[in-house]
Each structure stands twice: as C-alpha cells, then as structure tokens.
Structure 1
Amino acid sequence: MEVSELKFFSEKTSPFINSKGIQLNFLKNQLFVKFTFDMMVFTDTSWEYINQRPRQIVQEMAKYQQILFVEEPFIDQSIQKEHYRVIKIIDNLIVIKPVLRHLDDLKNVIHSLSKNTNIPVGWFSSATYYPLIKEFRFKKIIYDIENELIRPSDIMESNEMKLIKKSDIIITGSKAEFESKSLSHNNVHWIPSPVDDIFLVQDKEISSAPANLVNPERPIIGYCGLIDSRIDFEFLEKAAINMPFATFVLIGPVLNSGREKLPEHSNICYLNLSKYNSMPSYLKAIDVAMVPIAVNENNRFVSSSIVLKYMAANKPIISTALYDIERDYHHCIDIVRTPEEFCVTASRKLIPNQVANEERWFCYNQILNRNSWTGTAMEIQKLINGK
C-alpha cells in the first residue's frame, strides 16, 4: 500500500482499523486507548511488503503476548505534526504506519500508544532505530539481520555497531552473516526464514496465472523479489539478448536504487506484485526461476529465502554464485557464473524431463520439510527466555 493511499490521523482522532479496513470501537469517552506492550518491533519495511521475515515471526509470537509492530516511517518535513495510522491485525498485534517530520518524532507516537516504558523485548530489524533505544527500558534487545546493509552511510554503520554492542541476542537469516557477526558478538544465531504456508499449497489449489502475466510469450524465465541495485542488470540484459525466444519477467516492487538501471528490451518485462499472497500464482506461471543477483562484496550476505519459494513451486532454479545459495543448495539447483552459462543451462531446463522433475521435487521436499514459521518463532522465544 502506497503512502499516498493512506489516511493518517493525529493522536486524538486516530481510529483503529483491522487489516480489512473495518473501524474498530476502540475509542471510549473520546480518550485514546493505550496498551501495555510485551514487545516492540522496529522494521524497515511495511506490513504488506514483500519482505515477510519479521511479520511472520511476530504474528506467531502475538498469540501469547502484546506486540507493537512499527513500520518504517515516511518522513515529510512539510507537515506540522506527526501523523500515523493504527491497524489491529489480531487481538495482540498492533501495527502503526507513521508519517513524521523527523525520525526523532517517532518516540512521541509510541508514547501515545504505550502505557509502559519498561518493555520486556525490543526487536530491531534496522539499525536506523538505534537512537530510540534510550527512550525505552528494554529488558532484552534483539537485532534481526535478514540482509546486510548495502553501502551504509557513516551514521548507519555507526548505529549498527552500537546496536550490535547493545543487543542481547543477534539472529541472522544468512549463514554468511552469522559467521561474520559471530566475530563481534558472543550470542549470534543463524535462523533462516522458512517458506510461507501460502507457497506450500497443492498446485491444483493455485488460481490461474495473473492477468498481467498472460500475454508474455513462453517460455517465461522469472524472478520474484525486490527489484533494486542488488540485481545484476548487465548479466540479465546479456542473457535476454542471447535468448530472444524467451521472456524474462521480473516480478516485484522496483525500488529507487534500481530504477535507473533497468534494461529495456522487448523480451524483458517488469510486473508489480500488488499482493504478496498472489506470488504463488505468479510462480506457477513461469517455466524457469532465476536469482540474477550480482555476486559482489555488497551482496555477500544476501538471504537465500527466495530459493525456498521457488522450491515450493517446484521450478527449475538457476542462480548466480551467491555465497549462501551455492554452499547450501548447489546439489539441487544450478549455479552459473556468466550470462552464456545461464543461457545454456536455461535452454536445457526448458526441455521436458519427467524423471528430472521427480528427482528435483524429492530434493526440494527434503529442504522444505526442515522448518516452519511456528517452529522458528518458538526457537527465538526460547532464546528470549534464556532456554
């Protein structure tokens, strides 16, 4: 949901609405309701956004504790006072969407919602929020690192170093990130993101291809995820030129960091993923799944979670030689290092082969059955409880 589509409310007038947009009767005697939170989660993403890691975990944890989920604020220095929208997801889970003049104003928004400043757990998915730590007395601080910062500013780099030092527990989605952070902290845990349940449904339960994916000529070689500076656009362009008979489809939001680099060719198209839950139907429509992320130092710690979504759709997968992906999944997906190698591999994967399909699915299932979001949330809760 774009910021321009939201209606923001000030402290005295903000209604509570649930995830379907229905206003809830939480205003009593014209006074704003406050909560006693057991956990505050600070993220650099939106609840509806494609990145699902913090969302899935806290939704499980909210079954037995009160959680405030703080989305990345929209900064608008032209406004006179901070505004925000409050959404009740389930009984114990509140999401706020702040619009602020300055990040420092976020403390005012949170104080207006929270009865307590002694918070059992502070969960940080971004070092951006480090200055807010002093505003609350967190008993335990968790730093959840899904992906390493890409070319961080001096301030962000400094904030992350301070957050690492202040954190009681660090969890990482990438094994390479785990190995790196273990050098500077003594309580780091590698907890990869499982695949969401929506990707594990039977193929017959998935609806037909989305309307905006009907026209592209087959075969379709597809990528689902953030379209940003991590993508190796030069690699992608060369592959598309060498395979004019195929359509290369990139599905997902285009971030500013990648917008200027998008190659334009007749067989490359970009589709916006309006709803995360629709991703399985997009994956069903593609013939070969790709991970065209550039192999460089900035992307060394990129999470391999997208591979699990491809596996759940039982698609042949071709990836660049990213550290985690090559190490953990080389036995069941194809790793390539050049556009030419990509084209040869993709052409081979497009040839129907029932035996190869069955062998691939067997290998994928062994990986997919290892964990779940419920189990992941329980594992992290045990760390919080010191067990």
Structure 2
Amino acid sequence: MDNFTFPTDSHIHTDIVCFAEHGWNFTSDRPQHLLKRFAKGFRVFYIELPVFHADADRYDITLTEDHVIVVTPNLQGEPAQNDATTRWRELLIRLFNEERIDSYIFWYYSVQALKVSTHFTPDLVIYDCMDRPSETEEMRESEHELLEFADVVFTSGQRVFEATRKLHENTYLFPNSIDKDHFASARTFKYDPPDQASIGRPRFGYFGEIDQRIDFDLLVTVSKKRPHWHFILVGAVVNVSSSQLPNYRNFHYLGAKRYEELPQYIGGWNIAMIPFAHNEYTRFINPTKTAEYLAAGKPVISSPITDVIRPYGISGLVSIAGTANEFIKVAEELLAADEETKSTLMYKVDHYLAGQSWDKTWGEMMGLIATLLSKKALQGPKHLQEAWMQSESVLVEERHFEH
C-alpha cells in the first residue's frame, strides 16, 4: 500500500480518529455533518468496519472533498475467524505508525470497535451515542465497557440522553440538526427526477434506510383503504429481504440516492412521512429527517416517536398518527389544507428552525472539547497542552469567520 500523506499545516498536532458504524458513503447523517466540520481544524480519520474476503490484509485510504480521511480495513477470510480481531488491531497499529498519529482524540459511533482500540492512549475519548444497542447481549456489554472508557458522552436525542445519563455522569445532549439551505431548495421544485416523474398523486414520501424500523403493516393498511395514494420510499434496503417488502402498485421503491439529490425527490411529494414501528430499533431514535422534511417545506406525518412528539408534535409542526385510521384522517386534512393554512405552518417551521444548524452544534461541541482538554492539560504531559491549544485555536478561527 502506498503511504498516504495528508496536506496539513505544521501547527496541527491532534487528530480525531472516529470509529464508524457505517461506511462514509452509506448515507449523509450526523457523523458526516459533524466530522467534515471538525476536518477544518483537525486531521479526521474515519475508520469504517472491516470488509472481508479481501485478497490480503490491508487498509485502503480515500480523501473526501471535505478532507475527511476514510480508512477501510480489508481482512482476508470470514468475520467469525478467531484471529480476525487481532488482525484488525494490527491494521490499526500500522495505520497509526504510517500516518504518524501520535496525539489523538477517539470518537466512537461503533461499540464493536472497542475491542481493537482499548490498548491505545487517546487524549480524550468521546462516545457520540445515536442509539442504544439492542441486538445482542454482547453488544450491550460492549457499550457498557465503552461507557467506562469514555471521558464524555454526546447524545443525539432527548430519549437516548435520558437513558444514557443514568449510566455516565458526563453526558450531554446535542440534538440532531439541519442543513436548512440544502433542503429548502426543495421548495422551488420544478421537475421530477425521471424515476419519480410517472408516479401518480397524492404522493407520500420517505427517505432513509428501508429496514426493520418501518411499520409496513401500517402502510399496507392505509394503501388498501386509499388505493389511489402512492407511497414512495427512497433508500437502500438494509437487513430485510426485498421479497418481504409490500409489492403493490402504489408502492414505489426508488433505491438509494445521493444526498445532493434528495431535495429533487422531496420537492415532488405531497406529504413526507416517518412511518416507524414501535420496536427495539426505534425506542431511542431521533430521526434527522424530521427537520429536513420541514426545511423542504413539506407537511409531515410521523408515528408517535418520542423524539418527534417532543418537540415537533407538541409544537404543532408535525402531525402524529399511530394507527392507519389516524394516518388517513390526518393525511386528508393536510391534503385539503388551503394556502393560508399551509403558509401559517411554514412560518412556524421557519421560525422554529431559524436557530438550528450543524455549524452551531459543531461549535458547541468544540467548546466542550476545548474545556475537557484544558482540564486534562493542567496536569497532563506536553502533548495534551498542545491538543488543548489546538482546540482553542480552532474556536478562535471559527469565531473570526462568523464575524
């Protein structure tokens, strides 16, 4: 493998090493929004989960347009092999040596990565908790170990914050935010993308992973009662078989789309929806798409998800429907709304979203990180003092830019 050299200024000392749950290009969600902003002041290494069946153990490196360094470990053989964890750890050690990662912050999304990273000595350990693991007892035990390892825990929603702060005293709520300008472009919608153009109306749209979270029983019941309504699902099918998906004339699966393309699709919908079931996969979910739908200028119907009810439901920004009959009632009211009612809703939406941005969330995180590093620097070695000074420098530069 050719050694990768990242173009950086000499004053940069501390790196951020993020252990990811999904590939960088899998979606554009909280990790991507935050880390590309951190990459303005740090080298950011985004470590994906290993890919197996490679010809030989190696890691591949790519540099995104936002200067995030994406690292893909490739391991020969099968995930169940006894030495897979050891070889993954050896690739990490090689990466740290070859890229001269000497002073660094660990940032975790994946609890699985803990087993290959605890022998390192990071300046700071951050667990950005977007959900609580529920798949296996092993995953839950790994999260418990990660909580003990972490200096600080960030959480993406109110429900997961309330659960996690009982387990870690240094837990902070940083709710998912919004790239308003990007999604607001859907409001000037003119033409459908080709694969959506022939779909009839009214259209009920969803984008995101198509998986165990979606309440297909609800959608099927609604579709049978209102067969002229069309349900558009944009996203990759994950962890479920395509053969298990409802196969009706008014269901339309358009596949995964690039983040840049999403406003074009949303612009052609009548109503956006979050049709999540109540199960172990949605207990702590805080859907980023809620604010994105609203910024796009669409009325939204959601299942009674706690972090949608609070604050969007109780603020009258999102309609909540837990049954098929409730969904139909709310949908018919939204479809029949006059222009004055629609304008009033959009005014409330814009007022609510005005103070939200990923830049603001990133800035608040940076401030807390600088504070935590400063506390460690008071009693720590020289490289910790340098890490704190770097974080302070990033904050000063950002404040100068804002003014």
TM tier relative to shorter chain: 0.7 to 0.9
Question: CA separation in 2, counterparts of 1:282 and 1:42?
Answer: 31
Q: Equivalent residue for 1:7?
A: none
1:108 corresponds to 2:83: no
Match runs of 1:204-243 below 5 Å:
208-243=191-226
SS in 2 for 1:279: helix
SS in 2 for 1:81: coil
1:137 corresponds to 2:121: yes
SS in 2 for 1:95: strand
Match runs of 1:1-387 below 5 Å:
12-13=1-2, 38-76=15-53, 79-89=54-64, 93-101=68-76, 102-115=84-97, 116=100, 118-149=102-133, 151-197=134-180, 199-203=182-186, 208-257=191-240, 259-330=242-313, 331-386=316-371
After superposition, the C-alpha distances for 1:238-297 in whole angstroms (9 at most, x for unaligned) are: 111111111111111110236453111111111112312111111101111111000235
What TM-score do the two structures reach when normalised by structure 2? 0.82
Contact 1:75–1:103, Cα closer than 8 Å, also in 2:
no
Question: CA separation in 2, counterparts of 1:96 and 1:198?
Answer: 30
Letter in 2 for 1:100: L
After superposition, the C-alpha distances for 1:83-139 in whole angstroms (9 at most, x for unaligned) are: 333111258531112222334433333333334464431000110111122232112
Q: Quote the sequence identity (%).
A: 26
Residue 362 (structure 1) shift = 1.2
Question: CA separation in 2, counterparts of 1:110 and 1:230?
Answer: 33
Question: CA separation in 2, counterparts of 1:345 and 1:363?
Answer: 18
Query: Per the alignment, do residues 204 and 339 of structure 1 end up closer, same or farther by CA in structure 2, a change over 3 Å counting?
Result: closer
Question: CA separation in 2, counterparts of 1:13 and 1:297?
Answer: 43
Residue 314 (structure 1) shift = 1.0
Letter in 2 for 1:340: N
* Between structures 1 and 2, the one with greater helix share: 2
Question: CA separation in 1, counterparts of 2:103 and 2:36?
Answer: 18
Question: CA separation in 1, counterparts of 2:13 and 2:48?
Answer: 19
Q: Which consecutive residues of structure 2, in runs of 5 or more, have no partner in the other structure?
A: 7-11, 77-83, 373-403
SS in 1 for 2:117: helix
Contact 2:188–2:267, Cα closer than 8 Å, also in 1:
no
The alignment covers a number of residue pairs equal to 356
Question: CA separation in 2, counterparts of 1:314 and 1:342?
Answer: 19
What TM-score do the two structures reach when normalised by structure 1? 0.86
Contact 1:118–1:136, Cα closer than 8 Å, also in 2:
no
Letter in 2 for 1:293: F
Question: CA separation in 2, counterparts of 1:351 and 1:199?
Answer: 28
Question: CA separation in 2, counterparts of 1:190 and 1:60?
Answer: 19
Q: Equivalent residue for 1:21?
A: none
Contact 2:206–2:274, Cα closer than 8 Å, also in 1:
yes
Question: CA separation in 2, counterparts of 1:55 and 1:63?
Answer: 13
Contact 1:118–1:139, Cα closer than 8 Å, also in 2:
no
SS in 1 for 2:256: coil
SS in 2 for 1:289: strand
After superposition, the C-alpha distances for 1:338-380 in whole angstroms (9 at most, x for unaligned) are: 1111012112211251111111111111222222112211111
Question: CA separation in 2, counterparts of 1:208 and 1:72?
Answer: 38
SS in 2 for 1:134: coil
Letter in 2 for 1:376: T
Bigger mean CA deviation after superposition, 368-377 or 176-185: 368-377
Letter in 1 for 2:341: A
Q: CA RMSD in A?
A: 2.2
Query: Per the alignment, do residues 104 and 196 of structure 1 end up closer, same or farther by CA in structure 2, a change over 3 Å counting?
Result: farther
